[in-house]
A and B are shown apart, each in its own frame.
Chain A
Amino acid sequence: MLAKRSLSGSGLSPRSPSSSQPFLSVSVTDPVKLGNGVQAYISYRVITKTNLPEYRGQEKIVIRRYSDFVWLRDRLAEKFKGIFIPPLPEKSAVEKFRFSAEFIELRRQALDTYVNRVASHPQLQQSEDLRSFLQDDEETMERARSQDGGIFKKKPADLMQIFKDVQSKVSDVVLGKEKPLEEADPEYEKMKRYVFELEDHLAEAQKQAFRLVKRHRELGQALSDFGKAVKLLGDSEGNQLGKAFSDFGSQSEMLSFKLQKEAQDLLMNFEEPLKDYVRAVQSIKATMTDRANAFRQQCELAETAKLREINLEKLIVMRSDKVPEVEIECKELKAESEEATRRFEVIVRLMNEELVRFQEQKTIDMGVTFHDFAKGQAQLANDIANAWRSLLPKLEACSP
């Protein structure tokens, strides 16, 4: 459902020569357990339908597993800094739960949502990696996935940066400086605090939602047990009253079933969206980290470039023969510094756009979630009222 909604508003680049609207529609279906024992995993069918020229063919079906989705997410995170990358469902920690029908369906749903969000994001949908993910055959995908192994996927320059980051952090601590260099933007500060606090509130709501699922199951069970006991009581009465007891038992059983069903609905359509919301906020936090890193880089490179300039001036005065060398260095550093500044500014701009998008999308998402929740609870309550009400005429009739 999310797919349809988000695609209808998507701004696909109108480069297609055909007269029909450009579209890209993806679905993740058909979870199948493959492999044996510890190696066992679930594979999904990913079906892509598109008329975009960048894609080879109008329809493509590929088989993907969870780690392929992770690969895509990591590539996107690397290349699209500043964008809130759609969140992936968590890796399951508990072994035995990994293959339960409930978990598999939840995960499938979440993966479907994920891919569709990527495919309908104005920037992300341009990604080459997305195209690879949707089209490459399984062997190619596997090669790509196994090549990217954690730290080895970083380029040497990135590695350098990582070491520098660690170094500066350590020196800051050593020198007693509490925090590394941070932006002094009060609005951004406010936004950061907002994000952190939002996560807390959402986590609490999600916790209660999960408990509510459990309570529905427990109530269903208790009602079923009670109904059975009442039915037995009625069996020994034998007359009209006994029949009423028996009917009571039947209605209890039926309601118990409805409660279990509602519990399942709540799990899929109430708790999961809240969890998804939390994940989305965590993705924002990841972008915030990227922004902080970019800011620091910008500052450091600017600093380094300036120092070099000063050095160069000294050398010029001293008429040193190192001047040409250092001149080149200065030029390079200036370029790098400008590049770092540009990168940082892109992230800031993107983040602002993303934030607006995020808030609007979340309002819609939560609106739907709230609506479905209220509808479900209303339906359940009505079912309960109707079931019990149906007993009343019989109860009246057998008044002793």
Chain B
Amino acid sequence: MENLVIDEGPNTQTFISHSDYRSVMSSLAETHHPLAGDDPLSSNSSSKSFRNSSFTEDSFLEPPAYADVVFSPFTEKPISGNGNSSQPTQHLSNSSSEFITIIVSNPQKEQEISNSLVPGGNTYVTYLITTRTNMADYGSSDFSGSAEFSVRRRFRDVVTLADRLADSYRGFLIPPRPDKNVVESQVMQKQEFVEQRRLALEKYLTKLASHPVIKKSEELRVFLQVQGKLPLPSTTDMASRMLDGAVKLPKQLFGESVSAITAQEAVQPAKGGRDLLRIFKELKQSVANDWGGSKPPVVEEDKEFMEKKEKLRDLEQQLSAASQQAEGLVKAQQDIGETMGELGLAFIKLAKFETEEAVYNSQRTRAADAKRVATAAVKASRFYREANAQTVKHLDTLHEYLGLMQAVHTAFADRSNALLTVQTLLSELSSLRSRVEKLEAASSKIFGGDKTRNKKMEELKETIRVTEEAKDCAIKEYERIKENNRNELERLDRERQNDFHNMLKGFVINQVGYAEKIANVWTKVAEETSEYAKDSI
């Protein structure tokens, strides 16, 4: 489904075979409304196939009869054991005909070569990740300019990818990765869990590939394309980092190693690194910021940013509530569909019974009436459930944006951390400078200079120079992250408006379509039983 087929005329209803749902929505908009909507393809969309079955039914309504269009119920993704997704989730780029499609499939159990005393070793699951793309960075294998390739990765690799992206793309809204589940190995291998994880991985990678900046990242490319072991530095755990840092600390404190933060280090956050001393310094600085009477040299002055932050906090709250209520709605729709089906079944049994045991004609008539109601109830039940399957997909937007709020927190944290680094360096500089001043004052009193003091001053001046460099870098980094924040928040707003708009529209159109269908079913029964209406009030 790489190529959009958007040039259908007003007869969109009759012949749509393979077409992107959103393209139909926008073409519907084009044919029925003068306002041609913007092609809403900048975020993830799912391509589904259409069924023509509904087109034969009459619509009781004046056009546009949304019933005709909606019905193309999305084919449901089969949840099969081997994890093959029936329809790949696809991303299309706004600007060009660039595309990248990622499918995660074929989970397999593999054995870790264990050095431990425990026999049998550790088993883990790997997934086959197949990518098709025509993006230049990935090279191409055929004349169409697109490439297709597969790699096997385990979940740990995904965690590594996520962490490296977090390092490289500070300030960006990076899609949150699927949760690590700390569960027993037995559950880990259960089919349901593996299938859930497969789906989550597919969604995650596709989201990464649809982020305008991250899709071009080397980390992602390497993850998707490079065979064999993932060539990205893995995140070491907290403990070994602390250990490394603890080893370095005494040297740093006793001045045996250069205690200045270099420019290179300044652009990395302190917390993830091994430099304990730096972590302590920044911690001290943040405490000073919080409790200190005087304002730190550089503050978060951006009022606009603060307002934005407030607004986003509100948004998160509202999203959380809406997400929860959406779940409640989905459940209620599910339940009514089920009960309607059971009611239908009960009446079918009753009708069958009366027909079989009929002695009088009145029984046969009654059985026929009951059967009509039963058939309608069963049909309505099916419609409720189909409608609900669509509702789930539409309202998923809420859950996704709620998840994205996490990424917002991270992006803001990147900014705060960068600012903290700047503030720490500035404090450091100021204290270094005052030490130099003190030494100069003391040394000037001694005639001919003080060899030790002079040496010390030289060292300090060198440290100041290095620290100045680091400070400049840190400021640049902070500004860069601020800029990333700003751009990403703008993108978030734009995409959110778009996605929410589509969500509402999709939801509403779906509800209209199915409600019409259900109404038709019952209207027919009411007509068939209209003779009884004459007798009632």
CA distance A233 to B315 in the complex (A): 7
A164 at the interface (CB under 8 A from B): no
Pick from B47-55, B97-105, B114-122, B506-514 the stretch touching chain A.
B506-514
Kindly state whether residue A184 has any CB partner on chain B within 8 Å.
Answer: no
Q: Is A204 touching B349 in the complex (CB atoms < 8 A)?
A: yes
Known A233-B500, A237-B497, A371-B526: A399·B29 in contact at CB below 8 Å: yes
A326 at the interface (CB under 8 A from B): no
Please state if A368 and B536 are interface contacts (CB–CB under 8 Å).
Answer: yes
Residues on the A chain within 8 Å of B509, using CB = 392
* A216 interface hit (Cβ, 8 Å): yes
Considering only residues 365-390 of chain A, those with a C-beta below 8 Å from chain B are 366-368, 370-375, 377-378, 381-382, 384-385, 388-389
**Which A residues from 354 to 370 make CB contacts under 8 A with B?**
355-356, 359-360, 362-364, 366-368, 370
Residue B532, interface by CB 8 Å = yes
A205 lies within 8 A of B325 (CB): no
> Contact: A236 with B328, CB < 8 Å?
no
Q: Which residues in A have their C-beta under 8 angstroms from that of B504? A: 230, 244-245, 248, 391, 395
Whether a CB of chain B sits under 8 angstroms from the CB of A185 is: no
Within the complex, the shortest CB–CB distance from B371 to chain A, in Å, comes to: 10
B349 contacts A201, CB within 8 Å? yes
Within 8 A of A (CB), among B494-537: 494, 497-498, 500-501, 504-505, 508-509, 511-512, 515-516, 518-519, 522-523, 525-526, 529-533, 535-537
Known A-B contacts A226-B328, A378-B523; the reply to A208 vs B353 at CB < 8 A is no
Is A363 a contact of B365 with CB atoms below 8 Å?
A: yes
Partner of A370, one of B325, B359, B363, B372: B372
Given A222-B331, A232-B318, A388-B515, CB of A372 within 8 Å of CB of B536:
yes
CB proximity to B under 8 Å, residues A208-225: 208-209, 211-212, 215-216, 218-219, 221-223, 225
How far apart sit A202 and B336, CA to CA, in the bound complex (Å)?
20
**A197-B353, A382-B519 known; A398+B332 contact, CB < 8 A:** no
Bound together, the chains give a CA A389 to CA B38 distance in angstroms of: 21
* With A1-B537, A367-B366, A396-B33: A385-B501 Cβ-Cβ less than 8 Å: no
- 8 Å CB interface, A226-265 against B: 226, 228-230, 232-233, 236-237, 241, 244-245, 248
Contact of A356 among B357, B360, B529 (CB under 8 A): B360
- Let me know if B501 and A399 touch, CB within 8 A: yes
Q: A236 to chain B: closest CB distance in Å?
A: 6
The answer to whether A205 and B350 touch (CB under 8 A), given A218-B332, A236-B314, A385-B519, is: yes
A218 vs B359: C-alpha distance when bound (angstroms): 41
Asked, given contacts A223-B332, A226-B325, whether A388 binds B508 with beta carbons under 8 Å apart, the answer is yes
The CA-CA distance from A223 to B535 in the complex, in Å, is 36
Q: A201-B346, A212-B336, A389-B512 are in contact. Are A370 and B373 (CB under 8 A)?
A: yes
Known contacts A222-B329, A233-B318, A367-B369; A360 and B362 CB within 8 A of each other: yes
Q: Known contacts A233-B318, A398-B501: does B532 contact A367 (CB below 8 Å)?
A: yes
Answer whether residue A198 sits at the interface, using C-beta atoms and an 8 A cutoff: yes
Please, what's the 1-or-0 string for A153-175, where 1 marks a CB less than 8 Å from any CB in chain B? 00000000000000000000000
The reply to whether the CB of A35 lies closer than 8 angstroms to some CB of chain B is: no
**Chain A binder among B4-12, B140-148, B337-345, B469-477:** B337-345
Which residues of chain B are within 8 angstroms of A152 by Cβ–Cβ distance? none
Q: B501 touches which one: A202, A216, A241 (CB < 8 A)?
A: A241
B residues in contact with A202, CB < 8 Å: 350
Do residues B37 and A215 form an inter-chain contact, with CB atoms below 8 A? no
When distances are taken between beta carbons in the complex, the residues of chain B under 8 Å from A398 are: 501
B522 touches A374 (CB 8 A): yes
Contact A371 B519 (CB under 8 A): no
Tier of interface size on chain B:
35 or more
CA distance A262 to B389 in the complex (A): 24
Flag whether B311 is at the interface (Cβ < 8 A).
yes
Q: Which residues of A contact B365 (CB under 8 A)?
A: 363, 367
A150 at interface by CB-CB < 8 Å: no
Per the bound structure, the CA–CA distance linking A384 and B353 in Å amounts to 35
In the bound assembly, the distance between CA atoms of A316 and B329 in angstroms comes to 90
Residues of B within 8 A of A245 (CB): 500, 504
For residue A400, CB closer than 8 A to chain B, the reply is yes
**Distance (Å) between the CB of A226 and the closest chain B CB?**
4
Q: Which residues of A contact B518 (CB under 8 A)?
A: 377, 381
A79 close to chain B: CB less than 8 A: no
Residues facing A in B186-201 (CB within 8 A) are: none
Assembly CA distance A207 to B318 (angstroms) = 38
Please give, as numbers and ranges, the residues of chain A lying within 8 Å of B404 by CB-CB distance. none
Query: Measured between alpha carbons, how far is A274 from B510 in the docked complex, in Å?
Result: 33
Contact of A381 among B37, B38, B519 (CB under 8 A): B519
Interface membership of B214, Cβ < 8 A: no
Contact A366 B515 (CB under 8 A): no
- Establish whether residues A384 and B511, one from each chain, have CB atoms under 8 Å apart when the complex forms: yes
B322 close to chain A: CB less than 8 A: yes
User: Given A371-B530, A374-B376, 17 more contacts at CB 8 Å?
Assistant: A202-B350, A215-B336, A226-B325, A241-B497, A359-B359, A362-B362, A362-B366, A364-B535, A368-B536, A370-B532, A371-B533, A374-B523, A374-B525, A377-B522, A385-B511, A400-B38, A400-B497
Closest 8 CB pairs of A and B: A381-B519, A378-B522, A367-B532, A385-B515, A374-B525, A222-B332, A371-B529, A208-B343
Please report B residues at the A interface, Cβ cutoff 8 Å.
29, 33, 35, 37-38, 61, 66, 311, 314-315, 318-319, 321-322, 324-326, 328-329, 331-333, 335-336, 339-340, 342-343, 346-347, 349-350, 353-354, 357, 359-360, 362-363, 365-366, 369-370, 372-373, 376, 380, 494, 497-498, 500-501, 504-505, 508-509, 511-512, 515-516, 518-519, 522-523, 525-526, 529-533, 535-537
A-B contact pairs, 9 of them (CB 8 A): A1-B536, A207-B346, A208-B339, A218-B335, A226-B328, A226-B329, A366-B369, A395-B505, A397-B35
